[in-house]
Amino acid sequence: MLNKTTKESQWDFIIEPSGGPLSIGVREIFRYRDLLFLFVKRDLIAVYKQTILGPIWYFIQPILTTITFAVIFGNLAGISTDGVPQILFYLAGVTIWNYFNETFTQTSKTFIDNAQIFGKVYFPRLVLPLSKVLSNLAKFFIQLGLFLVVLVIYVLLGKDVHPNYFMLFTPILVLMMGGLGLGFGLISSSLTVKYRDLTFLITFGVQLLMYATPVIYPLNSISENYQLLLWLNPLTSIIEFFKYAYLGSGLVSYFWLTYSLLFTISLLILGAMIFNKVEKSFIDTV
C-alpha cells in the first residue's frame, strides 16, 4: 500500500482549494501569466479580426460618441462645457469613462461566457477578468493617445485649455477606474450565475450610471444641493480630476478622491470574496 507521501509524489502538479475567501492566488496567477497574456492578445486582435477597418475602430468609437454628445447635449440641449471646447470636453469624459464601462461590462460576463472553458480545463479563474482589465487598459492608452493629439491641436490653436502637472496623477486615476470596473464586474459575474436576468439590468444600469457621473456635463453646473449625491458616486472625483488635469476645468477634491480610493479597495476585497466563493460551485449552476 502506498502512503500519502508516495501517492502525492506521483503527480507533477496538485490542484487544491484556495486557502480562504480572500485568497487571490497571486503566485498561481503569475504561474499562468502566459495564459493571461494570451487572453489579452485574443481580446485585442480577435474582436476586429474579420472587420474591414480593423483596429481603426478603437479610434472611430470615441470619435463618433464625442460628435454625438457634442450635437445632442452641447448644441441641441445647450448643456455647458465650462468654457472648454465641446469636442475636447466630451472626448476627455468618453476616454476615461470607456475604460470603466468596458471593463465592468466584460468582466460581469466572466462565468456565463466562459462556462465551457471552465468545465474542461483548470486555470485560476481570476485570469479571465484580469485579462479584460489589461486588454481594456491597452485600448484606453490607444484612445488616450487620440485625445492627446486633439488636445495638442487645440492648445496650438490658442484655445482656452490649460493642461497642468495634475496629469502626473493619471496612473493612479486609471488604476482606480480599472479597480472599480473589476470590482463591480466580479460581483456582477458572481450574481449572474444564478440570476441570469441581471445581465440586462447591468447593461441598462451602466447607461444610467453615466448620467449620474459628470461625463457629459461639468460638476460645477449642478446645484450644490445635488452635488453631494454625485460626489458619493466614486467615479465622479476620478473623472473630475482627469478633466482638470488635462483641460484645466473641473473640481478637484483630495477628500473625495481618497473616498474613491477607499471605496475601490473595499469593492475589490468584497468582489474577490464573492468571486472565490462562487467559483467553487458555479459549474453545477450553469
| 253-282 pLDDT, tens digit each | 999 999 999 999 999 999 988 888 877 665
How far is residue 241's CA from residue 250's CA, in Å, rounded to a whole number? 7
User: pTM of the entire structure?
Assistant: 0.87
How far is residue 237's CA from residue 190's CA, in Å, rounded to a whole number? 27
Contact (Cβ atoms closer than 8 angstroms) between residue 29 and residue 127 = yes
> Which residue in this structure is represented by grid cell 504561474?
31
pLDDT, tens only, 182-195 = 999 999 888 887 77
Contact (Cβ atoms closer than 8 angstroms) between residue 133 and residue 43 = no
Q: What is the pLDDT of residue 147?
A: 96
Average pLDDT, the chain: 84
Q: Which of 17-31, 34-48, 63-77 has the lowest mean pLDDT?
A: 17-31
Three-state DSSP class for residue 14: coil
Q: What is the pLDDT of residue 199?
A: 76
How far is residue 179's CA from residue 104's CA, in Å, rounded to a whole number? 9
> Which residue in this structure is represented by grid cell 475636447?
88
**In the chain, domain spans:** 52-285
pLDDT grade for 214, boundaries at 50, 70 and 90: very high
Please check the confidence at residue 59 and state whether its pLDDT lies above 60.
yes
Mean pLDDT over 111-132 rounds to: 78
Contact (Cβ atoms closer than 8 angstroms) between residue 258 and residue 190 = no
Please check the confidence at residue 111 and state whether its pLDDT lies above 50.
yes
Three-state DSSP class for residue 158: coil
The region that residue 52 occupies, defined by phi over 0 for left and psi between -120 and 50 for alpha, beta otherwise, is: alpha
Q: What is the pLDDT of residue 52?
A: 59
Alpha carbon 201 to its chain centroid, in Å, reads: 18
**What percent of the chain has a predicted confidence (pLDDT) above 70?**
84
How far is residue 261's CA from residue 162's CA, in Å, rounded to a whole number? 26
Neighbours of 120 (CB within 10 A): 7
C-alpha cell recorded at residue 60: 472611430
